[in-house]
Amino acid sequence: MATKMSVAFKKKLDAARKVSKVAATRAKEETFGSDFEDGRYQARAVSGVIEESQSSSRLQARVQFEIASGEYKGQLKYDFWGLEDEDQQVWAFRKITQLGYEADDLDSLMEALADLEQSQPLCLIDLRTKGDFQNVNIRKLLDEDDLEEEEEEEEEEDEEEEEEEEEDEEEEEEEEEDDEEEETDEDEDEEGEEEEEEDEEEDEDQDEEEEEEDDEEVELTTGMRVLLSQKGKKDSPATVRKIEKDGRVTIGIDAHTAMNKEGKVKPMTVDTTELSLLEEEEAPKAKSKAPVKKSPAPAKKKTATKATKKKVVKRK
């Protein structure tokens, strides 16, 4: 269903429709805002032509500049010079003079503009935004050497940036190598500590094994030579006489260390914990289940039986 329009609205719509094509053309032709950052650039004037503006039908010169260096190198910027009245033409003649041409009238101006495509003069321009438009102001003509210097400066800047990037990469690599070396050192230290701990554990295990070997209990037999060790008394060598049923042992202490009034060897019944083994060549007469510790013999005395003292500990 069509919407009913008021007469006033229809008139406005018709008026807008009449200027719509011109507006669309201007949007394509004119540059609103800025395609480039405001600033100073090296550029070449590469073409120029006198034309009628499609948007306003104004007589104007359209000059095309190509940025010659920097970030926007190779990009195009247009400048429009009005020619319809005397004041506009004053600006046009000033600008063509700044590009190195002499023009006395409109014809000579047209010839200069046509020659731009061949000569392509290098110049320094300023881009300045005013309102919705960015104006092109020609500062001066440049020599090709100036462009080479600019390019050399850009190359030097690029080289410096590359060198800085390489230095940064080298520093990062060195830092990574240092980190790897530190990690390697830490790993080696940890490995060394682990090896030391393993060695200590091995030593401890070896000591324990030796202690286990030394702590071995032996079976007590009659006739076995033993050493009696009692608190507050000197160690006395003795001979096992009898294994008692309660696990205690009756021994005969050597005569030179303990005799009774009749001069006979004094027998004693003691606990096996008070005895340690004396190693000598006398063979055992009978085995007993009662364990006794091996023990070193006392220091050699003139009256004592020759014997070897051996360390004795309990079996683990």
Query: In this structure, which long-range contacts are made by residues 109-117, counting pairs with CB atoms below 8 Å and at least 24 apart in sequence?
Result: 109/50, 109/61, 110/50, 112/48, 113/48, 113/49, 113/50, 113/61, 113/63, 114/48, 114/49, 116/45, 116/46, 116/47, 116/48, 116/63, 117/46, 117/47, 117/48
HSE-up (13 A, CA, CB side) for residue 180: 6
The candidate with the shortest Cα–Cα distance to 154, out of 72, 57, 31, is 72
Q: What is the pLDDT of residue 299?
A: 46
d(CA 62, CA 50): 6
Q: What is the per-residue pLDDT for 273?
A: 82
pTM metric for this prediction: 0.42
Beta bridge partners of residue 140, listed in sequence order: 124
Q: What are the φ and ψ backbone dihedral angles of 72, each rounded to 5 degrees?
A: -100, 20
- Give the tokens for residue 35: 């395609």
**Residue 112 CB: number of other CB atoms within 10 A?**
20
Q: Which segments of 127-243 does DSSP mark as H helices, in order? A: 144-214
- Which pLDDT tens digit goes with each residue over 101-126? 999 999 999 999 999 999 999 999 99
Instruction: Specify the pairing of strand 133-141 against strand 218-222.
Output: unpaired
> Which pLDDT score, from 0 to 100, does residue 162 have?
81
* Nearest Cα to Cα of residue 30 among 8, 12, 10, 56: 56
Task: Point out the residues of the chain with pLDDT beneath 70.
Answer: 1-4, 26-34, 148, 150-156, 158, 207-217, 255-266, 279-316
Rg (CA), the chain: 59
Is the Cβ–Cβ distance between 228 and 236 less than 8 Å? yes
pLDDT tens figures, 19-71: 778 777 766 665 544 578 899 999 999 999 999 888 788 899 999 999 999 88
Distance CA 155, CA 142 (A): 19
User: How far apart, in whole angstroms, are the C-alpha atoms of residue 218 and residue 14?
Assistant: 128
Would you state the pLDDT for residue 112? 95
